[in-house]
Amino acid sequence: MYSKTIRVISFVLVLVAVSAFASCNLLNGVEEESTEAETTISALTEIPATPAETLAYFNRVMNAIKAENPGVSSERKRNIKDVKAVSAKGEIPEVASIISLAKGYMDVLGKKSETSEHGENLSDFLPVKGSPLVSSLTLDDIVTATCVQNEDDDEYYTLTVVLKDVENPGPFSPIGKAFDLDIDKSTVLEQFQNYTDNVTVSDYSALYTGCSVTISILKSSDKVTNISYNKNVVVTSDVVFNGELAVWGDAVVSLTFTETKEYKKFVWEAPTEEAAD
């Protein structure tokens, strides 16, 4: 009798232990599922599936910026590279003055950094200056439009639009619909001449190639949090060398001008009075 009682008690204890273990696993599963549910980011707009959908999404979230006028700061970086001068006699090694000329080309353009406070009109702060729109791009204006989830932070989408190449773009060109054409040719030519007495430049051609716009979008609200305008311009000009470089005569000068202009630190909500103080 005693032996049977012990066996029964042992069996009951085993059942209790198994039951407790199963309950523990069940609770852990619930907790894991709950944690997973808590970390899932809800997207206001699902990732666009086609270039047409992606471009429409891009235009919508970008144009909302000028409609709502958030606070935003901008920074600009420029560079000149691949400077070459070639005449009938071959490549011209004395390119120091040409590099100075190229530096002058960069100096023609405006400020390196700016800030617009929340509520201030952004019509002239963001491209396209003077327009109520930031982008009026169509499928005919672009090479690709892609949208993916940000690799480093799944709260954000990264959307990139690559524009078609355009030579000497006007305001209604693909470049003019998304970038500021803030380079006045006559001013640039004048600046060229100011930087060297050894080169006469009468005109130049600018090929905008591989230009793109990349933006970060907060998935939960469709608010843009960062914009990067990437400009790549191949400039070619027929020049006449004078003075010390007159031996080279007529030549073709080329250089590549790059610019990255970034808009960041967006403030979409109006600051409270306490924050303002």
- Residue 93, φ and ψ in degrees, nearest 5: -75, -25
First-last CA distance in the chain: 84
Q: How confident is the model at residue 179 (pLDDT cuts 50, 70, 90)?
A: very high
Q: What is the pLDDT of residue 102?
A: 61
Q: Are 125 and 71 in contact (CB under 8 A)?
A: no
Q: What pLDDT, in 10s, does the model give residues 2-45?
A: 443 333 334 333 333 433 333 444 345 545 554 444 556 789 99
**What mean pLDDT is reported for the chain?**
81
- The interaxial angle of helices 96-107 and 185-195, nearest 10 deg, is 140
| Side chain identity, residue 244 | E
Q: What is the pLDDT of residue 193?
A: 66
Q: What pLDDT, in 10s, does the model give residues 132-158?
A: 999 999 999 999 999 999 888 999 999
Average pLDDT value for residue range 62-77: 97
* CA-to-CA dists, residue 249 to 189, 195, 198, 199, 215, angstroms: 19, 19, 11, 10, 46
**pLDDT higher than threshold 70 for residue 105:** no
Q: Are 183 and 175 in contact (CB under 8 A)?
A: no
Q: Are 231 and 179 in contact (CB under 8 A)?
A: yes
Q: What span, in angstroms and rounded, lies between the C-alpha atoms of 127 and 34?
A: 44
Q: Percentage of the chain with pLDDT > 70?
A: 74
Q: What is the pLDDT of residue 129?
A: 92
Q: How confident is the model at residue 95 (pLDDT cuts 50, 70, 90)?
A: low
Structure tokens given for 218: 């907060």
Average pLDDT value for residue range 58-87: 93
Q: What pLDDT, in 10s, does the model give residues 246-273?
A: 888 898 888 888 999 999 999 999 988 6
Q: Which residue has the higher pLDDT, 245 or 70?
A: 70
Q: What span, in angstroms and rounded, lies between the C-alpha atoms of 63 and 47?
A: 18
What residues pair up with 158 in beta bridges, in sequence order?
A: 148, 216
Q: What span, in angstroms and rounded, lies between the C-alpha atoms of 68 and 275?
A: 20
| Side chain identity, residue 191 | Q
Q: The whole model's pTM is what?
A: 0.79
**pLDDT higher than threshold 70 for residue 216:** yes
Q: How confident is the model at residue 103 (pLDDT cuts 50, 70, 90)?
A: low
Q: Select from 60, 229, 51 the least CA-distant residue to 139.
A: 51
Q: What span, in angstroms and rounded, lies between the C-alpha atoms of 86 and 95?
A: 10
**pLDDT higher than threshold 70 for residue 106:** no
Our CA angle for 10, 16, 18, nearest 5°, is 105
Number of H helices, E strands in the chain: 5, 11
Q: What is the pLDDT of residue 73?
A: 98
**pLDDT higher than threshold 90 for residue 92:** no
Our CA angle for 193, 198, 202, nearest 5°, is 45
